[in-house]
Structure 1
Amino acid sequence: MGIHLHIGVLAFPFGTHAAPLLALVERLAAASPPGTRFSFFNSAISNSTIFPESESDANKNIKAYDVFDGTPEGEVFRGTHFEAVGLFIKASPGNFENAIEVAEVDAGLKISCLITDAFLWFACDLAEKRGVPWVPFWTAASCSLSAHAYTDEILKAVEGLKEKADQEQTLTFIPGLSKVHFTDLPPEIFLDQNPTPLAITINNMVQNLPRSTAVVLNSFEEIDPLITKDLKSKFQHFLNVGPSLLSTTTASPSPDNDKTGCLSWLETQTRPKSVVYISFGTVITPPENELAALAEALETCEYGKMVSWAPQARVLEHGSVGVFVTHCGWNSVLESVSRGVPLICRPFFGDQKVNSRMVEDTWKIGVRVEGGVFDKTSTVEALRCVMTGEAGEAIRENVCRLKEKAAGAVGLEGSSSKNFTKLLEIISVQK
């Protein structure tokens, strides 16, 4: 059967950006009519990580294309994560345009819609030039998107903060962020103090997102009703379509992805909700002194298991897991909510401080480590708070209620299911 609809997907190949975008595309591909092709543009390294060696039946209508990552030809990149981001941004959008031309020749059909990571703001110009919809995917939470959307208002408010103590004031002028402090905000908002390539990219994104056909998130409206209502007024379509982990259109995880033995080890645990699961994502390694403090806080445990990789969603689903110690990246927060597991947060950069503030003070589904860093005393106190006593019980009840709302959102008549249907309509419009 020939290709009747060709959709281009532009990924940002760093951190946990590309994998959630691919998860969304897999859902769309499964729900799209025959003859729909999704061309997935991403760096070679990232593609090799998120695509299996052999394409499964579910991925027949998704074709991966490698784009130039900015590393000079013949050189092996040995810089930092953020230097790699800078090189990639410098190579864009030309690297994507070249790959798009190849994909259009392969498919024998021009691209009729661009779904992209929201960071890739220049896609609005690519889409406009082609006369096709631009659908940016914001890979983080609606709370951090709202903070970025109010950049101008935040900068004006900061001008009035004379003392450092004033920076602990909250963002009462932003709907849904009344518990968030100025000190929680992503540094990229303050471009004058932080003119990195990523900060410039995010600020360009803020300026261009209103030009989008729809802004899509892997979240659900009910987690932040005030923010949802406000952002719906700012964009043509604001579509929460998650959590994808709970969606019936998401394939079940493969039973053989327990190569490090995490799940089999959990099966040997006899007490429900007794295990502390610790993970800081794919980018972050805490400083050695904090790792030592964390180990000291946990030394009263008889034994544990340390692995290089874990099937996180399945670990969190296990009945023996009682708390998740995390950097508070959005994917981790959402997976924990989807499984009803409370959080202990030690944020590091980006949106993580905002997320952790929402976790503790707005959603009340976890706690932040006192002082913002691991030491033995603060870590023990956080563990005791969540794992024992009335405070921990209340936190557990709150996260279970939020889990139920998340499940309802992806139900047949749920808000996320309706938004996903709307997204399918948008990307299926022919030129």
Structure 2
Amino acid sequence: MENSRGTRLQQSKGRRLVLFPLPLKGHLNPMLELANILHSKGFSITIIHTHFNAPNSDDYPHFTFHPISDGLSEGEASTGDILHLLLLLTVNCVEPFRDCLARLLSNVSEEPVACLVADAIWHFSRLVADSLKLPTIVLRTSSASSFLVFGAFPLLREKGYLPIQDSRLEEPLQEFPPLRIKDIPAINTCELEAFYQLVAAMVNESKASSGIIWNSFEDLEQSALATIHQDFHIPIFPIGPFHKYSPTSTTLSIQDHSSIAWLDTQAPNSVVYVSFGSIAGLDETDFIEMAWGLANSKQPFLWVVRPGFIRGSEWLEPLPSGFLETIGGRGHIVKWAPQHEVLAHPAVGAFCTHSGWNSTLESISEGVPMICLPCFSDQKVNARYVSQVWRVGVQLENGLKRGEIEGAIRRLMVEKSGQEIRDRCISLKEKANLCLKQGGSSYQALEDLISYISSFFFHLHAPEKGRLLIFPDHGFMVSLRSFSITIIHTHFNSPNPANYPLFTFHSIPDGLSKTEASTADVIALLSLLNINCVAPFRDCLSQLLSNPSEEPIACLITDAVWHFTQAVANSLKLPRMVLRTSSVSSFLAVAAMPYLQKSGYLPIKVIARLPDDKRDAIIEMGFGGLLHLACRELRYELCSWIISNYDTAYHQLNMATGVVVLVTTQDVGNIMGIPCSGEEIVVHTRRGTSNRTYTISLLEQNLENLAIGDDFRKTFLIFACATLLAPNSKLEGIHDLWDTIWDGDVGVQKNWSKFVLHYIEDGIREYQKNQPTYIRGCRIFLQEKMHVYRLQMVVTLLLNEANNVRGNIIQACGL
């Protein structure tokens, strides 16, 4: 045995995974089970965990453990408010986690780390890992079916399903049959917005991760898994049931093994096992109803009543006098039990459960029918699927009443319908066993997961002498001793490969017309190249990285003018170096341009040259804000991030922290300083060729030369749209819009803010769907909206801190 273990550990040398479990038992246990699975496949395992609910490292001598501070007070750690606890943890653990992960990655004496595996609730972990150039795979400990409902929360809110209203509980949830409104995951809290934001963060960060691991299997949730795979566009790995890989228990509670000895004395399929997990609780009235329901069923029962399970009581104090004597040896009550062993015991014939996902999957895997009493969150979805989709149990929906409990037990244990449910349970149990065997879906998903993680390892830890990727501007070429060189280049001014026989060349389209390629306007040319080459470059680089027959790539070297390449390289986890072909002195002058803008030296444009009377006319039109707009420079990476995270259906920006930032017409008016009320702007389509000539230079000349009047005002509107409010990829602008402005009445107030918002959202929608090389619309507005949000967050934090200080002073003074 020792030789076998030693061989396995030797195989693991050089491949390490960092796992970051959420410290709730329903999340921590499956993460530790996953750790055992991955360790059995040759990986070294490092666990980062909080002090709260810390696992016992003595139970896992083959893992390395690193505790981090969770910042919880004694009162916070013992709170029954799960949402409040999670919000505290996801704030308090960010810095300790970052510091710990950074230390692990910088420790050269340890094996290199291939990736991070984090619980989906730790929504900040991916951003931390990304900043350290480490891929993140998410573990989702709920069912795939409930995850789809969580992901649809924005839609459910828009349609009025959320917040849940008592008068609509029984209405069907049309988007997710056979769920009803009352089956939507919910938590008993007065901080609904905080709950929605936490869910959004969990879903969004799962989507943005490098992959998702599910404790489920294809035959159980094929439809939900297929939908997730289609919608998320990232690898998913349904490798469950986790607990069937190894008999090792991962529970954090002290188990009472007397329950197994007691079960050994009972008849097959005769015992009702009752357990409500590690969080759910009952009040005294429900507890007594449950007790009499079990007693009146006349069936033997094993009941887990953990300390604190009955609200307001230590343990069994509320039991009716004489109850234990009444049931005699027919009932066995313990504080905790080894659930895997209990459900696998032949004496157990039914499981009365809170419908947590771990318990549901374990019961299905052992072929035990369920009586479902869901309490909160995804348990409601699980219970509905157990009773209505898989039909391997019944659900009690009218509260805890002894008669209904007794009836449900008799239905499963005595009546004919119970045998039909049991038969379906046995069928699913067989499928759960088969999926783990060679050729099974979970077996293959695990093999795919191991290969996927191994690919991270080789990409992240390229050999010293490997391959370099060069993406030059025209006229730039290098030769480096000991490295293989691959050149990505445009068709325009392409190098001659015959002159460089030692290099490999890959040509990408640049989208330039003959006229554009021969232009003397260098700035226009560079702008077009930086727009047109993004998608071709990304595709080419991805193909090179995924080619297993080539040497691994150490890094990318690009000309500094290719400003988009950093974002592309980051998305593919590839380091990037820049070649600057100018002098250091001129580079300093370029770097000072933001300061020169702020100081008023730049830009030297027509608006700055307009006399006061024309500027006053623009202010009277309601466009005075454009004269003083602070931002005149687009930050490419920020805009790309905003557009990637913008939800056009709900007019909102989904922040990485889970916060949802709504974007309104009023925001456009406030930020851009343009009208946000009046008639809607309708752009008329031309039937023929416009007889008017529009160019930016001509518009600038007219603004300077025209007298103040309608022609001047119309010219300004066209100029503002072409350069700022509604730009598109064509240098001559949008003739339909310009003609609409010229043919309209400038004396009638128009809702320009609404038009600007719709136009940029149309551009984002088109970009997200078709990935064109240019995103039309007012991106400066989105950039400034982000800055305003950040400022609001700073102000809020300062006000909260001020209130905290005020409260401490009042408390200290006894006021």
TM-score normalised to structure 2 length: 0.48
Residues 302-349 of structure 1 deviation map (CA, whole Å, 9 limit, x = unaligned)? 421111110001011111111000100000001101110000011111
User: Which amino acid in structure 1 is aligned with residue 48 of structure 2?
Assistant: F
The question of 1:317 aligning with 2:317 is answered no
Equivalent residues of 2:213, 2:238 under 8 A apart? yes
Please say if 1:400 is aligned against 2:426: yes
Q: Which secondary structure does the structure 1 equivalent of 2:333 belong to?
A: coil
What CA distance in whole angstroms lies between the structure 2 residues aligned with 1:272 and 1:251?
A: 22
Structure 1 residues 338 and 67 mapped into 2: Cα distance closer, same or farther (>3 Å)?
same
Quote how far apart the aligned CAs of 1:3 are: 5.0
Q: Which amino acid aligns with 2:98?
A: E
Q: What amino acid is aligned across from residue 120 of structure 2 in structure 1?
A: A
1:9 maps to 19
- The alignment status of 1:370 with 2:394, answered yes or no, reads no
Which segment drifts farther, 160-169 or 178-187? 160-169
- Aligned partners of 2:334, 2:51: CA distance in 1, in Å? 26
Structure 1 residue aligned with 2:32: 22
Secondary structure in 1 matching 2:193: coil
| Residues 70, 90 of structure 1: 8 Å contact kept | no
In the alignment, which of 280, 284, 289 is matched to residue 280 of structure 2? Answer: 284
| Distance apart, 1:203 and its partner CA | 1.4
8 Å CA contact 2:340–2:362 kept in 1: the answer is yes
| Superposed counterparts of 1:150-189, under 5 Å | 150-158=152-160, 165-173=167-175, 177-187=176-186
In structure 2, the partner of 1:89 is: 90
**Residue number in structure 2 paired with 1:212:** 209
Matched, 1:37 2:37: no
Q: Between Structure 1 and Structure 2, how many residues are aligned?
A: 410
2:343 maps to 1:341: no
How far apart are 1:201 and its partner, in Å? 2.4
- The letter of the residue matching 1:91 is N
Q: Structure 1: give runs of 5+ residues left out of the alignment.
A: none
Higher relative contact order (CA 8 A, sep 6+): 1
Q: CA deviation at 1:38?
A: 2.0
- The Cα shift of 1:132 comes to 2.8
User: Hey, what's the Cα distance between the residues in 2 that align with 1:305 and 1:368?
Assistant: 24
Which of 415, 418, 421 does residue 444 from structure 2 map onto?
Answer: 418
1:119 aligns with 2:142: no
Matches within 5 A, 1:272-311: 272-300=268-296, 301=298, 302=327, 303-311=330-338
Amino acid of the structure 2 residue aligned with 1:357:
R
CA distance in 2, matches of 1:307, 1:160: 39
Whole-Å Cα distance in 2 between the matches of residues 187 and 160 of structure 1?
10
State the Cα distance separating 1:356 from its structure 2 match. 0.5
Query: Are residue 98 (structure 1) and residue 99 (structure 2) matched?
Result: yes
Q: How far apart are residue 171 of structure 1 and its match?
A: 3.0
Distance 1:161 1:84 in 2: 22
SS of 2:428's equivalent? helix
**Equivalents in 2 of 1:115, 1:400: separation in Å?**
33
Query: CA contact under 8 A between 2:90 and 2:124: conserved in structure 1?
Result: no
Deviation at 1:387, TM superposition (A): 1.2
Assess if the C-alpha contact under 8 Å between 2:118 and 2:138 holds in 1: yes
Counterpart residue type for residue 352 of structure 2 = V
Shift of 1:153: 2.2
- Write the letter of the residue equivalent to 1:195: E
Given that residues 191 and 200 in structure 1 are in contact (C-alpha distance below 8 angstroms), is that contact kept between their aligned partners in structure 2?
no
8 Å CA contact 2:157–2:163 kept in 1: the answer is: no
User: Alignment partner of 1:19: what SS?
Assistant: helix
The residue identity in structure 1 corresponding to 2:97 is F
SS in 2 for 1:278: strand
Q: How far apart are the structure 1 equivalents of 2:200 and 2:229?
A: 20
CA distance in 2, matches of 1:205, 1:128: 16
Aligned to 2:145: 143
**Unaligned ranges ≥5, structure 2:** 1-9, 299-326, 461-815
Match of 2:408 in 1: 382
Report deviation, 1:139. 0.4
Q: Structure 1 length normalisation: TM-score?
A: 0.88
Q: Which residue of 1 aligns with 2:58?
A: 53
Q: In structure 1, what is the Cα distance between the partners aligned to 2:222 and 2:400? A: 32
C-alpha displacement of 1:234: 2.0
Write the letter of the residue equivalent to 2:230.
S
- TM-superposed CA distance for 1:166, in Å, is 4.1
Q: For 1:268-318, what per-residue CA distance to the aligned partner results, in whole angstroms no more than 9, with x for missing partners?
A: 11x211111000111122111111001111224442111111000101111
Q: Rate the CA distance shift 1:46–1:103 in 2: closer, same or farther, 3 A.
A: farther
Sort the Cα spacing of 1:398 and 1:39 in 2 relative to 1 into closer, same or farther, 3 A. Answer: same
1:134 is matched with 136
The amino acid across from 1:46 in the alignment is: N
Contact 1:8-1:115 within 8 A present in 2 as well: yes
Shift, 1:172, TM fit: 3.3
1:404 is displaced (CA, Å) by: 1.2
CA distance in 2, matches of 1:131, 1:295: 55
**In 2, Cα distance between equivalents of 1:88 and 1:215:** 22
Q: Distance in 2 between matches of 1:163 and 1:16?
A: 29
Identity of aligned residues (%): 26
CA-to-aligned-CA distance 1:128-184 (integer Å, 9 cap, x gap): 2233321100001111111112222222232699985544233332xxx31111211
**What amino acid maps onto 2:150 in structure 1?**
H
Q: The residue matched to 1:306 in structure 2 has which SS?
A: strand
Cα gap change, 1:115 to 1:354, in 2 (>3 Å): same
The partner residue of 1:202 within 199, 204, 209 is 199
DSSP 3-state at the match of 1:94: helix
Let me know the Cα RMSD of the aligned residues: 2.7
- Does the CA-based 8 Å contact 2:120-2:205 persist in structure 1? no
SS at match of 1:282: coil
C-alpha separation in 2, matches of 1:161 and 1:26: 40
Contact kept in structure 1, 2:102 and 2:132, CA below 8 Å: no
Residue 161 to residue 132, structure 1, CA distance change in 2 (3 Å)? closer
- Say whether the 8 Å CA contact 1:6–1:39 is kept in structure 2: yes
What amino acid does structure 1 have at the position aligned with 2:391? K
Distance in 1 (alpha carbons) for counterparts of 2:255 and 2:166: 48
The C-alpha deviation readout for 1:341-384, integer Å capped at 9, x for no partner, is 0000111111111110111111111111131x211111111111
Q: SS of the counterpart of 1:323?
A: strand
State the shift of 1:192 in Å. Answer: 9.8
Cα distance in 1 for residues equivalent to 2:135 and 2:358: 26
Task: Give the C-alpha shift of residue 193 in structure 1.
Answer: 6.4
2:258 pairs with 1:261: yes
2:256·2:335 contact (CA, 8 Å) conserved in 1?
Answer: no
Shift of 1:85: 2.7
